[in-house]
């Protein structure tokens, strides 16, 4: 079952989404830290930024998942987008230096990409298992919370209920808030959002002064007014999804800390003695143990309690006043991660010249020597034609719009012809020169081309225009290259998937196994190389056959004919196939019939 899941496109897309989220969340975290420093001291604003950061992580994760999973045939084809880089008309002259497209760094990145391509489904399965285990834990916390709300609870004295009602009116809370005492809690906490419930430890209200009771009630009511319980539920879900990412956990932890700060601000607005409130929280923290569930809003909070007390007391935290070295350390990481973004490749490096002069031309054919632009184009001695002078105020003609469209799918596959449609506005097809940068070949013409890549990773389709001075680059389009997906093993040519119950006659009517590529738009066929066949008659010893090719061997067919057909089993394991472009056979699992 796990093997069949690992071949599912959604599981592979899930693995890629998890991998991409590593740098995506890191980038979001860096932006959050930068903006939190800009709005330092504005707790509500920074708290909102933390929630937006977590939501942006989820949306980016979901968008990446859809992008990796949805095939091009399921999406409406957009209008061809121009894949070109416009030439500067009046700009600094550039000196073009060719660089090697394939070098050791590219080989290393290709190896790493190939490894990720082969193991993306495993990453997706591990992520799903981790989320499943965390959901079991959350269900346990939810069950404990249900018991907490209904067992060993009682109403406090009327004076405390009246105090709670008065504070609710002051804060503008219209929902019906219930105040109860419980012998199962060790500190004040808030539960629920449709019918909010404030629980105090049994007997605590009688031990506190009226001012202390009001301060603690204000804090819990502030959570209710801000709908913090509902926000916390969503935050728990996000924590479960991104359980593997330490930077997301830092954002989430800071959001919880800022949430407590915002509620403390509400208390300080309605309280005349901040020191009394700080002392109350300190005594409460020292005398209690926190309830181990994520579904509650605690008065003392769960993180950075000392920083919170110093803040309430008006004492500056020296640690917070220091420069945030984490941001400084993450800056180079951000630029490193941005280099992995799917931008268009740059195969030329440009160096600016101090004096701006008109651009004469850019020759994309790798020259033997560096070409330096001159203010006025002079005819070269070796060329019969003489270039006309270009005035400094002249404007170079803009590069034509170029459309490069993959006809079948939005990725290219190894071992098959991947048709492309290429056209440039105002340029005849016979003047276009198309080249492939990467591993593979490209051929064709008159606007239609076939690409046959040979290595997973990325390739670039370079479109050039023939000119008198050579071929001029007018567009670069990058495509992702993948192996042909794993086919599904079938008995004969049957379309239904997998094994199951089968009659003896149906089993004998098939010559052997086949490999079917489902939902694959290309004309490709994967061949069965071999498999292990095990026949297990009812109440008899199994017989194993090592089969080469796709058909049943004669001795295996004879044994199949001798089966009674009631309670017998047939297993096909280690089915090996070879698809176009494969260097070695791949294992696609097995089938079982009874």
CB 417 within 8 A of CB 449: no
Write down the pTM of the prediction: 0.51
Q: Which residue has the tokens 């002259």?
A: 93
Q: Where are the domains of the chain?
A: 94-112+347-482, 151-321, 488-593
User: Is residue 182 very low, low, confident or very high in pLDDT (cuts 50, 70, 90)?
Assistant: confident
Q: What is the DSSP letter of 82?
A: B
For residues 586 and 117, what is the distance between their CA atoms, to the nearest angstrom?
A: 14
Q: Does position 50 have pLDDT exceeding 50, yes or no? A: yes
- Interval 95-124: pLDDT, tens: 444 444 445 666 676 777 777 777 788 888
What confidence score (pLDDT) does residue 589 get?
84
User: Is residue 391 very low, low, confident or very high in pLDDT (cuts 50, 70, 90)?
Assistant: very low
Q: What is the 3-state secondary structure (H, E, C) of 234-303?
A: HHHHHHHHCCCCHHHHHHHHHHHHHHHHHHHHHHHHHCCCHHHHHHHHHHHHHHCCCCCCCCCEECCCCC
What confidence score (pLDDT) does residue 22 get?
93
| Range in 111-120, 230-239, 353-362, 387-396 the model is least confident about | 353-362
Q: Mean pLDDT throughout 337-364?
A: 43
What confidence score (pLDDT) does residue 150 get?
76
- Interval 399-445: pLDDT, tens: 678 888 888 888 899 999 999 999 988 889 888 999 999 999 999 98
CB 415 within 8 A of CB 582: yes
Q: Does position 344 have pLDDT exceeding 90, yes or no? A: no
pLDDT above 70 coverage of the chain, percent: 71
Q: Does position 75 have pLDDT exceeding 60, yes or no? A: no
- Interval 274-327: pLDDT, tens: 888 888 787 777 665 444 455 555 555 545 566 666 666 665 554 444 445 455
- Interval 77-101: pLDDT, tens: 443 444 444 444 434 444 444 444 4
Of 135, 54, 89, nearest to 390 (Cα)?
89
For 94-112+347-482, CATH gives 2.60.40.10
User: Is residue 24 very low, low, confident or very high in pLDDT (cuts 50, 70, 90)?
Assistant: very high
Q: Does position 13 have pLDDT exceeding 70, yes or no? A: yes
Q: Does position 576 have pLDDT exceeding 90, yes or no? A: yes
Q: Phi and psi for 173 in degrees, rounded to 5?
A: -90, 125
- Interval 249-273: pLDDT, tens: 999 999 999 998 999 888 888 876 7
User: Is residue 350 very low, low, confident or very high in pLDDT (cuts 50, 70, 90)?
Assistant: very low
């Amino acid at each position: 079952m796990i093997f069949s899941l690992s071949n599912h496109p959604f599981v592979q897309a899930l693995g890629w989404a998890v991998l991409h989220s590593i740098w995506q969340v890191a980038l979001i975290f860096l932006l959050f830290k930068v903006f939190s420093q800009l709005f330092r001291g504005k707790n509500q604003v920074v708290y909102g930024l933390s929630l937006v950061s977590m939501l942006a992580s989820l949306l980016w994760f979901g968008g990446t998942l859809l992008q990796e999973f949805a095939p091009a045939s399921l999406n409406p084809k957009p209008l061809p987008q121009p894949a070109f880089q416009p030439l500067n008309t009046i700009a600094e002259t550039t000196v073009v230096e060719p660089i090697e497209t394939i070098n050791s760094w590219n080989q290393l990145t290709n190896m790493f990409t190939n490894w990720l391509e082969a193991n993306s489904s495993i990453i997706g399965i591990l992520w799903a298992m981790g989320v499943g285990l965390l959901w079991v834990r959350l269900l346990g916390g939810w069950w404990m919370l249900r018991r907490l709300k209904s067992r060993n609870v009682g109403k406090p004295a009327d004076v405390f209920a009246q105090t709670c009602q008065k504070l609710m009116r002051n804060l503008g809370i219209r929902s019906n808030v219930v105040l109860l005492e419980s012998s199962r809690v060790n500190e004040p906490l808030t539960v629920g959002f449709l019918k909010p419930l404030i629980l105090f430890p049994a007997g605590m209200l009688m031990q506190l002064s009226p001012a202390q009771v009001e301060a603690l009630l204000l804090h819990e009511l502030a959570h209710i007014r801000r709908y913090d319980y509902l926000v916390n539920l969503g935050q728990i879900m996000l924590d479960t999804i991104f359980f593997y990412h330490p930077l997301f956990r830092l954002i989430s932890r800071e959001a919880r800390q800022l949430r407590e700060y915002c509620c403390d601000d509400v208390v300080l607005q309605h309280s005349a003695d901040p020191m009394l409130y700080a002392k109350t929280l300190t005594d409460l923290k020292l005398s209690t143990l926190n309830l181990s569930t994520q579904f509650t809003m605690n008065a003392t909070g769960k993180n950075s309690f000392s920083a919170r007390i110093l803040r309430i007391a008006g004492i500056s935290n020296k640690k917070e006043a220091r420069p945030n070295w984490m941001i400084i350390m993450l800056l180079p990481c951000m630029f490193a991660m941005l280099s992995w973004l799917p931008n268009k490749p740059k195969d030329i490096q440009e160096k600016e010249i101090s004096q701006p002069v008109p651009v004469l031309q850019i020759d994309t054919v790798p020259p033997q020597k560096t070409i330096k632009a001159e203010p006025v184009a002079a005819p070269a001695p070796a060329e019969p034609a003489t270039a006309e002078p270009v005035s400094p105020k002249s404007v170079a003609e803009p590069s034509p719009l170029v459309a490069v469209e993959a006809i079948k799918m939005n990725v290219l596959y190894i071992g098959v012809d991947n048709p492309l449609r290429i056209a440039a506005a105002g340029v005849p097809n016979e003047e276009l020169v198309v080249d492939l940068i990467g591993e593979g070949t490209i051929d064709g013409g008159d606007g239609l081309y076939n690409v046959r890549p040979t290595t997973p990773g990325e390739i670039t389709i370079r479109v050039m225009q023939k000119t008198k001075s050579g071929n001029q680059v007018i567009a670069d389009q990058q495509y992702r290259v993948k192996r042909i997906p794993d086919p599904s093993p079938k008995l004969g040519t049957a379309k239904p998937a997998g094994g199951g119950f089968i009659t003896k006659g149906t089993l004998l009517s098939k010559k052997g196994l086949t490999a079917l590529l489902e939902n694959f738009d290309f004309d490709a066929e994967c061949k069965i190389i071999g498999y292990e066949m095990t026949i297990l008659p009812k109440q008899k010893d199994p017989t194993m056959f090592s089969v080469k090719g796709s058909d049943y061997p004669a001795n295996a067919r004879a044994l199949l004919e001798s089966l009674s057909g009631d309670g017998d089993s047939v297993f096909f394991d280690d089915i090996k196939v070879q698809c176009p472009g494969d260097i070695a056979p791949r294992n696609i699992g097995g089938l079982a019939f009874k």
